[in-house]
Amino acid sequence: MAASIKEVAQRAGVSLGTVSNVLNRPDIVSPQTRKRVQEAIEELGFVRNDSARQLRAGRSRTVAIVVLDVSNPFFTDVVRGAESIVEGAGGMVVVCNSGGDAAREHRHLDVLEEQRVQGILVTPVSDGKQPRLDRIVTRGIPVVLVDRGAGLANQCSVAVDDVLGGRIAAEHLAERGHRRIAFVGGPMALRQVTDRRLGAEAALSEQGLPPPLVVETPMLSVSAGRQAADEIVTLPSTRRPTAIFCANDLVALGVLQALTAHGLAVPDDIALVGYDDIEFAAGAAVPLSSVRQPREQLGRTAAQLLLEESTDPDRHEHRHVVFQPELAVRQSSETKRRRAR
Amino acid sequence: MAASIKEVAQRAGVSLGTVSNVLNRPDIVSPQTRKRVQEAIEELGFVRNDSARQLRAGRSRTVAIVVLDVSNPFFTDVVRGAESIVEGAGGMVVVCNSGGDAAREHRHLDVLEEQRVQGILVTPVSDGKQPRLDRIVTRGIPVVLVDRGAGLANQCSVAVDDVLGGRIAAEHLAERGHRRIAFVGGPMALRQVTDRRLGAEAALSEQGLPPPLVVETPMLSVSAGRQAADEIVTLPSTRRPTAIFCANDLVALGVLQALTAHGLAVPDDIALVGYDDIEFAAGAAVPLSSVRQPREQLGRTAAQLLLEESTDPDRHEHRHVVFQPELAVRQSSETKRRRAR
DNA sequence: GGTGCGTGATGAAACGTTTCAGGCGAAGAT
DNA sequence: ATCTTCGCCTGAAACGTTTCATCACGCACC
């Protein structure tokens, strides 16, 4: 059914090696022969078998990215950044979704290892030592950690300073006069969540403010945010926070919705700051203040490091790139005073 | 570097074929031998080379899904649906993003064809005849069209009745007393967009209402929605629509934001209905009425049809599954009367 | 007219699997 | 005691490429 190089060679009346040369180094074959071969390829509808090519050549042109949550706009933007670099280099990106599930992540990595992909960008589900990833690295497949702290010495990483992000969010709220501030996010097993919380706590303590009320959520989703806010509104108004800092925008949007549903105005009753600055943050009916991360650049840089390591593994030195977040201030955290017209 | 089956065989003191049997049909090899082989695999850190396997076996366990926009929550949900089925069958899904760009779609399909993937789920960029896809099908790779109309006879498709969706949205608004209704969405080259529009127009005409004011957008994004709304608010209030039906939720969210920014209240000044019912629709500060599509089920069904065709190509008959959308009514389209407490 | 050289094409080996026909010994049937 | 059957294992072929050593040929050079 599927034509092979051999049949093409036969039809063009040349040897098998010549066809391969037409495919891979067209310049070293004479114009007439090249033309004949190309015609034969056309006529037979020949398509190179990548398995055979890869088997023989050892190399693959596929870069994989394993994300925590394919539904989170943060990750889709990272993916787009990585795509732009990899495709520019003639490669291809495949996206794998672990969904925050270690077992699924494991299975994806197994398959990618079997496929001998060119490299893997990954935001691992869990932190700390990663024997699974180490094994992949020792097998010669470069791995770049995305949005994880400067990890071990055997791989590159790109991340955004989440402690700083938490800090600037909290400082912003403190500056606006808020003293009872809540932190909503979870699970605490995610380093991103704890770092953002730690940054916020440090900032508050430096300003002489009490530590935040922490409401832990089981995951970083809109519905989790709604539930957390449902809890918060039951507090007596003397203890209720006047500002909430959420571990990401999905949670913040959920909180925003629930607060509004309970008749609390944002930001007049409760100010709100999210994290990630996804497109829907600015588009929310109360535009959301949010800690912006250079999402696409995160993906681009990760892909660049990967390709670098892939093309020249010997000279490559592992690097740990950390970006700085910045706050996008919007209506959800503007004080009444400021918003008065 | 990478251990092969041969080395495993050597170390375990068995033949090469036996190792393969341990890998693929462990039941037919005696327990002792099996154990010895498994130990050797463990010690050498052997990982099967999928290229070689696929080359010999012809089959692949990878299903690809090519989506129009990986940033659109609609597609990520479809992906999740497909994943659940494929992974249940021991396969793996890779996501490819065409970004609505025909050239990128083309390149993705090229690579997937070279990789001899098990099958392809695709929402093509353009409509009509698809010679590129036909070629893939004749090569023996099953293709299922996602969210595209019951296409040609040589492939399955799953879709949602977009004409009906447009119809129920328009009927809902007409029922609420609206007479000047706008349709916002584009480009009209997308069948989804034109179908939804046609459905709406048919419904209005049946009710004896004038056709909608159509504002075409260059793409289905939040920012496109914002711009369209900026246009609409400049209309004199006598001609300004009292309700807007948007081709998808991203556009609707953009419209919602711009209207609010211009001091127009939703739904009191202008009612709003979106399409897709993405999670952010219910979470918007004015919860968005939206035409709900069974997104995950779309993905599940597509994957099922694909696997069916893949495992039994001879007995397989192509089917065209069409789901019915339904309207999720929320605050953005509730009339004043109804919302009065 | 031999030598050397460059240009193109050739043929075979190799990559790491899976598969399949067969072999070998032990157990059961006659 | 011979013939089958059965369970387990072996060895080799095949999959479709890429790559590399080799070769044929025409051409310039002394």
Q: How long, in residues, is chain B? A: 341
Mean pLDDT (chain B) is: 92
C-alpha distance from A209 to closest chain B C-alpha (Å): 31
Q: Is A45 left (phi over 0), alpha (psi -120 to 50) or beta?
A: left
Cβ-count burial A235-269 (b if 16+ within 10 Å, e if not): eeeeebbbbbbbbbbbbbbbbbbbbbeeebebbee
Residue B40 (CA) to nucleotide C25 (C1'), in angstroms, measures: 26
- Asked if the model's pLDDT at residue B151 lies above 80, the reply is no
- Asked if the model's pLDDT at residue B160 lies above 80, the reply is yes
pLDDT at A338: 44
In chain A, positions 56-95 with C-beta closer than 7 Å to nucleic chain C are: 56
d(CA A290, CA A215): 18
pLDDT at A151: 62
C-alpha distance from B82 to closest chain A C-alpha (Å): 12
Residue B160 CB neighbour total at 10 angstroms:
23
Task: Note the pLDDT tens digit of each residue in A161-187.
Answer: 999 999 999 999 999 999 999 999 999
Quick one: tokens of B231?
């246009």
CA A275 to chain centre: 14
pLDDT band at A149 (very low <50, low <70, confident <90, very high): low
State which amino acid sits at residue B168. I
Q: With a 7 Å cutoff on the CB, does A1 touch strand D? A: no
C-alpha distances out from residue A103 to A79, A137, A144, Å = 22, 19, 20
Quick one: tokens of B77?
């949900």
E strands in chain B:
62-67, 92-97, 119-122, 143-146, 156-160, 181-185, 213-216, 243-246, 271-276, 289-292, 320-323, 326-328
Contact A70 B47 (CB under 8 A): no
Nearest to B4 by CA among B58, B36, B51: B51
- Asked if the model's pLDDT at residue B20 lies above 80, the reply is yes
Start-to-end CA span in chain A (Å): 73
pLDDT band at B49 (very low <50, low <70, confident <90, very high): very high
Residue B92 (CA) to nucleotide C17 (C1'), in angstroms, measures: 20
Quick one: tokens of B87?
């992974």
With tokens 């953009």, the residue in question is B254
Classify strands B213-216 and B289-292 as parallel, antiparallel or unpaired: unpaired
pLDDT at A76: 94
pLDDT at B338: 43
Classify strands A213-216 and A62-67 as parallel, antiparallel or unpaired: unpaired
d(CA A80, CA A300): 8
The average pLDDT across B3-14 equals 94
Quick one: tokens of B128?
């009509």
C-alpha distance from A133 to closest chain B C-alpha (Å): 13
The average pLDDT across A6-14 equals 94
d(CA A260, CA B338): 19
The average pLDDT across A221-231 equals 94
pLDDT band at A341 (very low <50, low <70, confident <90, very high): very low
Task: Note the pLDDT tens digit of each residue in B63-116.
Answer: 999 999 898 999 999 999 999 999 999 888 999 999 888 999 999 999 999 999
- Asked if the model's pLDDT at residue B337 lies above 70, the reply is no
Q: With a 7 Å cutoff on the CB, does B56 touch strand D? A: yes
For residue B4, give the nucleotide whose C1' atom is nearest its CA. Answer: C16
Cβ pair B73, B42 in contact under 8 A: no
Residue A292 pairs in a beta bridge with A276, A326
Classify strands A326-328 and A289-292 as parallel, antiparallel or unpaired: antiparallel
Contact A52 B50 (CB under 8 A): no
pLDDT at B150: 60
d(CA B205, CA B14): 78
DSSP states of A186-230 = --TTSHHHHHHHHHHHHHHHHTTPPPPEEEE-SSSSHHHHHHHHH
State which amino acid sits at residue A163. V
The average pLDDT across B23-40 equals 95
Q: Is the peptide bond between B267 and the residue preceding it cis, with omega within 30 degrees of 0?
A: yes
With tokens 């003191």, the residue in question is B13
d(CA A283, CA A262): 21
Comparison of pLDDT for B150 and A15, the residue scoring more: A15
- Asked if the model's pLDDT at residue A340 lies above 50, the reply is no
Contact A280 B253 (CB under 8 A): yes
The average pLDDT across A332-337 equals 76
A279 chain-B contacts, CB cut-off 8 A: 71, 222
- Asked if the model's pLDDT at residue B332 lies above 70, the reply is yes
pLDDT at A15: 94
Residue A186 CB neighbour total at 10 angstroms:
21
pLDDT at A260: 86
Task: Note the pLDDT tens digit of each residue in A99-110.
Answer: 888 999 999 999
Task: Note the pLDDT tens digit of each residue in A50-97.
Answer: 999 999 988 888 999 999 989 899 999 999 999 999 999 988 899 999
Comparison of pLDDT for A154 and B156, the residue scoring more: B156
Residue of chain B whose Cα is closest to the Cα of A75: B71
Cβ pair B172, B335 in contact under 8 A: no
pLDDT band at B328 (very low <50, low <70, confident <90, very high): very high
The average pLDDT across B169-181 equals 96
C-alpha distance from B193 to closest chain A C-alpha (Å): 22
The average pLDDT across B128-133 equals 83
- Asked if the model's pLDDT at residue A339 lies above 50, the reply is no
Quick one: tokens of B69?
């926009």
Nearest to B117 by CA among B66, B64, B50: B64
If you measure CA to C1', which residue is closest to nucleotide C20?
A: B17
- Asked if the model's pLDDT at residue B292 lies above 70, the reply is yes
Q: With a 7 Å cutoff on the CB, does A33 touch strand C? A: yes
The minimal CB distance from B116 to the residues A51, A99, A115 is found for A51
pLDDT at A2: 77
